[in-house]
Structure 1
């Protein structure tokens, strides 16, 4: 019986622990304050349909309420993410947002799902109609990430939540908040991949040791080229330094054949190079880089997936288990690529150039309308 488990005391205690009022709990659950008051004074019980939502909100165990702890499997979470990402192309932004919020309420203690929804919000907030709604969704994402970090025991999940919260602060032009979140990561420990590989070697499993090292090298390769676009834009006002950095980055992509491994990183490198040259009023090179950017986008980028090759020949199994990588569905990606060329303020000076117009025509004709 519900009375036997003292649900009144549990609700009252957990609400006080969280420091929320009966009004706030009532608003979240969708009932009146009087209903919450009756629950806590043992005059009535919550409708059975509300118990899962209460359990999720308080993040309590089976023993602490009635044994209901909503969770999703990893595979279901992946399918849910891709479904919602696709919905942004077929439904209105608000419709998808309502669906996401329903899932959050239903699975408020399923932190892997909440993390993916935070990721979904970060990747699609720009679809909101105005800046105010965009900022509100980013703040909602920050709150979601903070809940994950506070309540979740999985260190990897909390680290990712910290990263998404940082991204939100950066987008919201809150650099001090972002710096505060990342301060501890400025002094990283010895590579975990090296330590894990060493451990496998000690057990005599040299094949697994090689795989771990390859995964580490792959991470480091992407770690070097990932920030490359931001660095190029930071030094665009110093042409000689810009040329040196771009040359080194391009050599790395050539030596490791990065276009085959991760075409997205190569695309972003060429886009940043085009922006940098445009800032320097070097229209010829800007158009050259922009043309290479569009070429890779239209021939190699989609369908987006990370791959190994003859050098990285031991990472395929790891890639299969790698977290969701495609940030958006293909339709949204195609539109985003067009916007990165057409609406980029760095390319305003190129709008009257014949080659620039040809690039836009090619994107509209061969890429957007596919």
Structure 2
């Protein structure tokens, strides 16, 4: 357990209340030099002083000292999914406050804090006003910064940096996103080309199961990244019919060959939306409606009772243990009701406005509403 963060806490609490070291010293009856030593980790206060400090800052002695229990992976996972369900069924502010209290309670459990930052990222749009949404995103950025500055887990720090860059994009500060990601995502770095080296190393050590598992995991994650980047590429070239049609043709083959519509329908859904937008912009209503039809079909699959879990197939046989070992397990990061509300937003997309008078469009909208009514 990592429970003595008294110095950091004292500095933070004093500054939050705009107190000088001398003012704090006078209040509790010690010298300014004593307060300075506490903040510089040169000494700790007498036990009799702790109740005065906790009363002044209106926190418990445990919180003052920085005592924070570490949650297990299973405990963190349960809390995340419980809160995700609460966001779907309870007032946003109530659930947000609950999660904020947990942050204070487990402020040195960095992997849990990362999950809370991810939780806020996945649900901030449920807040009723823009300023509240921005505050949630800013708080998530602060959590990521805290993780980067204090966690000793390099992988977790990199994850926090990546999430932080994503949050900056939501906050309308893409320059900060670029500053973080240009170095992390440098295609010329050796780190980005080391997967095959690790597979060779596993083989040389006779660890063929590890080599097989890692190979499948990386192939799968690269497929999802390829889907995501291709969707962005499509959006960059919406005015160029030849590029878009060729991209769509190639990606449709990729989806078919790797059964991505069954393995990871959410990645295919994003692609189908962009395809529908492209066709609608070029007044190809029949093709646009076909894409919307597929979109609704995949949403129905995603929201089925038995389809909330990530899974492999006859080719990707090593994925499920990996999914289960992930911090959040194999369940979706958002409740189905929240996923549905997000999915319905396509029918309010101004780029698809030209389709609204089409009977097929109205039919698909009704089907989606029916799906949502059964959740």
Q: TM (normalized to structure 1)?
A: 0.85
Match of 2:267 in 1: 265
In 2, the alpha carbon distance for the partners of 1:312 and 1:36 equals 65
Please say if 1:365 is aligned against 2:357: no
Please say if 1:296 is aligned against 2:298: yes
In 2, the alpha carbon distance for the partners of 1:276 and 1:257 equals 23
In 1, the alpha carbon distance for the partners of 2:14 and 2:167 equals 31
Superposed, 1:239-318 pairs within 5 Å as 239-302=241-304, 303-318=307-322
126-135 or 38-47, which deviates more: 38-47
Superposed, 1:85-164 pairs within 5 Å as 85-164=84-163
- 1:350 positional shift: 1.3
Superposed, 1:1-370 pairs within 5 Å as 11=6, 13-14=7-8, 20=12, 22-24=14-16, 37-38=28-29, 44-47=48-51, 50-56=60-66, 68-184=67-183, 185-187=185-187, 188=189, 189-302=191-304, 303-324=307-328, 326-339=332-345, 341-370=346-375
In 2, the alpha carbon distance for the partners of 1:113 and 1:297 equals 30
Aligned 8 A contact 1:260 1:307 in 2: no
In 2, the alpha carbon distance for the partners of 1:99 and 1:274 equals 39
In 2, the alpha carbon distance for the partners of 1:55 and 1:191 equals 44
Of structures 1 and 2, the one with the larger relative CO (CA 8 A, separation 6+) is 2
**Cα gap change, 1:281 to 1:172, in 2 (>3 Å):** farther
- 1:160 positional shift: 1.2
**Cα gap change, 1:38 to 1:238, in 2 (>3 Å):** farther
| 1:216-274, Cα deviation, whole Å (9 max, x unpaired) | 11121112112222221121111111111111111111111111211111111111111
Say how many residue pairs are matched. 343
RMSD: 2.5
In 1, the alpha carbon distance for the partners of 2:24 and 2:92 equals 31
- 1:208 positional shift: 2.5
317-326 or 123-132, which deviates more: 317-326
**Cα gap change, 1:309 to 1:233, in 2 (>3 Å):** same
Post-superposition, which runs of at least 4 consecutive aligned residues in structure 1 deviate over 6 A?
Answer: none
Q: TM (normalized to structure 2)?
A: 0.84
Aligned 8 A contact 1:81 1:120 in 2: yes
Structure 2 residues without counterparts, runs of 5 or longer = 36-44
In 2, the alpha carbon distance for the partners of 1:129 and 1:327 equals 21
SS in 1 for 2:86: helix
SS in 1 for 2:50: coil
- 1:25 positional shift: 6.2
In 2, the alpha carbon distance for the partners of 1:80 and 1:26 equals 34
Match of 1:60 in 2: none
Aligned 8 A contact 1:55 1:69 in 2: no
Aligned 8 A contact 2:73 2:327 in 1: no
Aligned 8 A contact 1:253 1:259 in 2: yes
